Structure 1
Amino acid sequence: MSYYPPPPSYPEQPGQPHHSWQAPPPPPVPPADPRREIRTLSAAYQRLRRVASLTALGYFVLFLLLSAYLPGLMTTKITGGLTIALMLGLIQLPVTLIAVAAYEKSARRRVDPLAEAVRLQADPTTEGARR
């Protein structure tokens, strides 16, 4: 019996005992289910679209509803010629830009890694080409 582990040229036998000086064997990797990953990617992308769309469109629908059903409130002057309706209309652009920025940030953080994993699973040869 030797005090040294076998040289790397010898393949490790599955029935060999594991010694404390050896690195633990890696856990078995279960085969990935491509349908599950695609469903996860689709759900993440769908949620992202809903949140961004409802943010931008929801604000606009709120503006329209206030204009239709509360015209007295919308014509209330804030200062000089600035009314509440004009102020809410001017705020629409920053709200839309914030929704777009949040969409992009969330897509890069949550959806893009899932898409990259699905892409690599479909064609593992493109791993280095994407970077």
Structure 2
Amino acid sequence: NVRTASRLRRLGIKNMYDLAHCDPAILEKEFGVIGDQLFAMSWGVDRSIIKHKYRPKSKSYGNSQILNRDYEDQRQIEIVIQEIGDQVAARIRAHHLLAGRVSLYVGYADYEADPAGFSIQEKITPTDVSSDLV
């Protein structure tokens, strides 16, 4: 973080060696608890307490495909979307999960003409069935 680096430089700390060899009391006075953490990390010590495996509240599974040109034929577009949807559905099933929301982003070959592309997102009845996700 730029602010932290600036504050460290004001204390004469320009690199990890300087940080590891400065007075921890000075760091604690300047940064509080973060100063103590910075000093410990400079010596490779992580004082984090880990009791339980971290499980994110929501998981996201996705896949993307970059094509070498814009597709205009609807059937070809549907095939690409189906292939991607099938791959994501297989991963969801492998993890014994269900998807409750799907999203699709489409960008264009001529990025400079339309850099935004478009996207859509839909909430669905939770499922792991390929055809429902597609």
Q: Please give the TM-score of this superposition, normalised by the length of structure 2.
A: 0.22
Q: Going by fraction, where is helix more abundant, 1 or 2?
A: 1
Q: Going by fraction, where is strand more abundant, 1 or 2?
A: 2
Q: Please give the TM-score of this superposition, normalised by the length of structure 1.
A: 0.23
* Structure of higher CA gyration radius: 1
